[in-house]
Amino acid sequence: MKDSRNLSRITVITLAVSAVFLACLRTSLRADTARPLKAAGEKAGPRPNIMLYADTSRGRPFSKDPDVVNFKGKYYMYYSVPPFRDGRPNDGLAVGIAGSNDLYNWTRLGDILPAGDYEKKGLAAPAAIVLDGRVHLFYQTYGNGPKDAICHAWSDDGINFTRNKTNPIFSPTGKWNVGRAIDADVIVDNDRMLLYCATRDPAMKIQMLVVASAPMDSGFGRGSWTQLCDAPILKPELPWEKRCIEAPAVCKHNGRFFMFYAGAYNNQPQQIGCAVSDDGVSWKRIFDSPLLPNGRPGEWNSSESGHPGVFVDNDGRTYLFFQGNNDKGRTWYISKMMVLWKNNKPRLVKP
């Protein structure tokens, strides 16, 4: 009987040690492969079934500026990652690539690193679109202040990209802006491509939006683009937008253009609004309040819900990808919500 009790104690201890080991193993899983993921500093307890992705290849969870495409039966997500900061060549801000079969579980696939003088300080904020069996990427240079501009590249496999020889391809003109171009997004409009991006006023204080177009058969190089506005198509006006509107993400629904945009600079908090247009150039806000506000204290996105990327899948379902954190930008995670349409207005569905 005594031996039986001792054996039971040993069994209980063994099970307890195994449970602790498994818990430690789960905690040690990389942020760019494990699901579901708990954001740094998030309070313990039940959590919603949300998608959270963070690339940890640079030593901390950090993924910003998401954009997603369905390419050859697989989902590809492109996003910004920080420098390694270890002195290696081409160690600027870069574009990370992740893949998924279900829009929930993501695995890191690689990087697009700085190349050439115009990218030597970094590249970021990618916008992806699939055209004729290729992924086209429109992205910004980084770290050049008023001289940052939009670039273009393409890929046959979604991972290895060829730069446009005319890069950078677009910067805005006019006395109302400083000539800077960041946060690109593109959408096909009949026989032309519309390119949206953010710029700043000549004092480099107010962030606002500009639009240009290029013929679909132009190759999208420098010289192909025609600026379609001589003033901002959207600039901060509402209190929650503060001094910044950036990260335009445009889709079409029932023949109209819808733009999800980020209001306020990072962690002020940045939140997401929505505007509508009949021609892709003249825009009107749908809501005076954020469509997607930052989270409540203790939630993974309490510092911001920002930089949207809208994705319309092949079956017509629409998803809004966005970035967030709860530590004022020490870490960055990407999540998504489904977009439903009611009375021709978007409504976000919480998971």
Q: Which residue has the higher pLDDT, 260 or 90?
A: 260
Provide, rounded to the nearest whole percent, the portion of the chain with pLDDT above 90.
84
Total count of domains within the chain: 2
How much is the pTM? 0.88
Clarify whether residues 162 and 198 are in a common domain: yes
Report the distance separating Cα 136 and Cα 165, nearest Å.
14
Q: What is the largest CA-CA distance in the chain?
A: 92
Q: What is the DSSP letter of 332?
A: B
- The 3-state DSSP class for residue 17 equals helix
Clarify whether residues 19 and 82 are in a common domain: no
Clarify whether residues 185 and 280 are in a common domain: yes
* 129 contacts: CB under 8 Å, gap ≥ 6: 69, 135, 136, 138, 186, 187, 188
Summarize the chain as % helix, strand, coil (round to 5). Answer: 10, 40, 45
- Closest by CA position to 241, among listed 273, 210, 200: 273
Can you spell out the DSSP letters for 146-159? GG--EEEEEESSSS
**Residues 351 and 51 sit within 8 Å (Cβ to Cβ):** yes
Clarify whether residues 20 and 117 are in a common domain: no
Q: How far is CA 200 from CA 180, 203, 205, 237, 299, in A?
A: 6, 8, 7, 15, 32
- The 3-state DSSP class for residue 57 equals coil
Q: What is the DSSP letter of 13?
A: H
Q: What is the pLDDT of residues 199-241, one digit of tens each?
A: 999 999 999 999 999 999 999 999 999 999 999 999 999 999 9
Clarify whether residues 112 and 245 are in a common domain: yes
Report the distance separating Cα 179 and Cα 81, nearest Å.
25
Cβ neighbours of 327 (radius 10 Å):
15
User: Domain of 130: which CATH number?
Assistant: 2.115.10.20
Report the distance separating Cα 216 and Cα 131, nearest Å.
10
Q: Which amino acid would we find at residue 146?
A: P
Clarify whether residues 47 and 146 are in a common domain: yes
Mean pLDDT of 111-133: 96
Clarify whether residues 334 and 239 are in a common domain: yes
Quick one: three-class SS letters along 61-74? CECEEEEEEEECCE
pLDDT for position 315: 96
Clarify whether residues 218 and 329 are in a common domain: yes
Q: Which amino acid would we find at residue 207?
A: Q
Where is average pLDDT lowest: 40-49, 184-193, 284-293? Answer: 40-49
Q: What is the pLDDT of residues 55-105, one digit of tens each?
A: 999 999 999 999 999 999 999 999 999 999 998 888 999 999 999 999 999
Report the distance separating Cα 78 and Cα 112, nearest Å.
9
- Closest by CA position to 176, among listed 223, 210, 149, 211: 210
Clarify whether residues 10 and 72 are in a common domain: no
Clarify whether residues 22 and 79 are in a common domain: no
- Closest by CA position to 114, among listed 167, 184, 170, 73: 167
**Residues 48 and 107 sit within 8 Å (Cβ to Cβ):** no
Report the distance separating Cα 302 and Cα 281, nearest Å.
33
pLDDT at 26 over 60: no
Clarify whether residues 15 and 74 are in a common domain: no
Clarify whether residues 113 and 24 are in a common domain: no
Domain encompassing residue 14: 1-30
